[in-house]
Amino acid sequence: MEYALLILSWTIVVIQSNLPLYILEAKFLIRIQRFILPLFTLTVLSYLLLYGLDLPIVLPIVFYIILNIFFSYGVNSGNFSDDLDIERYKGDPECVAVFLPTGVDAVPILYLRSADMILERDGLQYSLSYCLLCNTIHAYELPTIGGVPLEISSHGGSVINGNKVLHDNSGRYIWQQFTGKPISAAANGITLKEIETKRVLVHHLKSTYPDARFYSGRMLGPNHFIYSAIGRLVRNISNLRISKDRIDDRLPAKLPIAGVTILGDGTKAYPMTLFPPNEVTLIQDSVSGVNLTIVSDGTSVYAFSRSGLSYSKGLLHSGEESWNIDGRAVNAEESLPQLMLTSSAYWYMWVKFNPDTEVYHSSSL
pLDDT per position as a tens digit, 40-86? 888 988 988 888 888 889 988 988 888 777 777 778 887 888 888 87
State the pLDDT confidence band at 219, using cuts at 50, 70 and 90: low
Least confident piece of the model among 145-159, 179-193, 335-349: 145-159
Closest CA to 103 of 218, 210, 215, 216: 210
Domain ranges of the chain: 2-70, 74-231, 256-359
CB atoms within 10 A of CB 212: 20
pTM for the whole thing? 0.86
- Mean pLDDT across the stretch 164-183? 92
Rounded-to-integer distance, Cα 365 and Cα 275, Å: 11
Rounded-to-integer distance, Cα 307 and Cα 289, Å: 12
Rounded-to-integer distance, Cα 357 and Cα 342, Å: 13
Judge contact between 227 and 73, C-beta under 8 A.
yes
Rounded-to-integer distance, Cα 268 and Cα 284, Å: 13
pLDDT per position as a tens digit, 245-298? 667 889 998 899 999 998 767 899 999 999 998 899 999 999 988 899 999 988
116-118-122 Cα angle (round to 5): 145
